[in-house]
Amino acid sequence: AQTVTQSQPEMSVQEAETVTLSCTYDTSENNYYLFWYKQPPSRQMILVIRQEAYKQQNATENRFSVNFQKAAKSFSLKISDSQLGDTAMYFCAFMKEGGYGNKLVFGAGTILRVKS
Amino acid sequence: NAGVTQTPKFRVLKTGQSMTLLCAQDMNHEYMYWYRQDPGMGLRLIHYSVGEGTTAKGEVPDGYNVSRLKKQNFLLGLESAAPSQTSVYFCASSPRAAQSWHMNTEAFFGQGTRLTVV
């Protein structure tokens, strides 16, 4: 079974600064997908970024980028130029490729607070 | 442009009462899921469905039942609610994978249902 660990329950960052959220996972699979979801106070789950394990290049989406280290099973999220609207709970998630039902396995989440 | 819609948004139940949460998606997705979110535990999969008429157990299925009679709907039932089922419940849907690295694996979530069992 896969597990996802987010070791930082809470983090804070000043507006316009950069912050990195950590995620590690455990799996025996070689092909899989990793995701970061954002959950603002509205409770809506929003996909921030995804990474295919077969790709060596780290995914980027505007101010969001990941550092994917497959051998170390690490998948951190870097938010540059933090904005007040980035305040949210962030979840790291794992999906096995070709798994029955495309099930997501989530970490416990990291609360990020952006301060003005 | 509805996406995934959950009904109701909030509910308070007394211990032992029953209720059904409704999830509807308009994206013609094959796969649907029910998760529960608890502090410090992230989202955990309760049950899921890979198509109309099919259901399967997830990580925490006890105390819940589901049905998928129509492709667009996925119902989650609590037959006899317990305080331990106090949680936020999320429904999600995703398209079926066709080819491995060309598939769109994104899951779309509803806005959640906050359920309190007293």
pLDDT of residue B105: 67
State percent of chain A over pLDDT 90.
87
**Is A91:B43 a contact under the CB 8 Å cutoff?**
yes
Task: Find where tokens 């790291």 sit.
Answer: A92
**For residue A16, pLDDT beyond 50:** yes
Task: Tell me the pLDDT tens digit for each residue of A75-107.
Answer: 999 999 999 999 999 999 999 887 788 899 999
User: Quick check: bond before A40 cis, omega within 30?
Assistant: no
User: With an 8 Å Cβ cutoff, is B99 touching chain A?
Assistant: no
Task: Tell me the pLDDT tens digit for each residue of B52-85.
Answer: 999 999 999 999 999 999 999 999 999 999 999 9
Alpha-carbon torsion (B93, A106, A28, A31), positive or negative: positive
Contact check, Cβ <8 Å, A107/B94: no
pLDDT tier at B103, thresholds 50, 70, 90: low
pLDDT of residue A1: 83
State percent of chain A over pLDDT 70.
100
pLDDT tier at B101, thresholds 50, 70, 90: very low
Contact check, Cβ <8 Å, A50/B106: yes
**Chain B neighbors of A9, CB-CB under 8 A:** 40
- Whole-angstrom CA distances from B96 to B29, B34, B90 are 7, 16, 19
Other C-beta atoms lying within 10 Å of the C-beta of residue A47? 16
* Average confidence score pLDDT of chain B: 92
Contact check, Cβ <8 Å, B42/A4: yes
The closest of A60, A3, A87 to A68, measured between CA atoms, is: A60
* More confident: A1 or A34: A34
B84 Cα to chain A: minimum distance (Å): 18
pLDDT of residue B100: 46
Tell me which residues of chain A, numbers 32 to 91, contact chain B at a CB-CB cutoff of 8 Å: 33, 42-45, 47, 50, 52, 54, 91
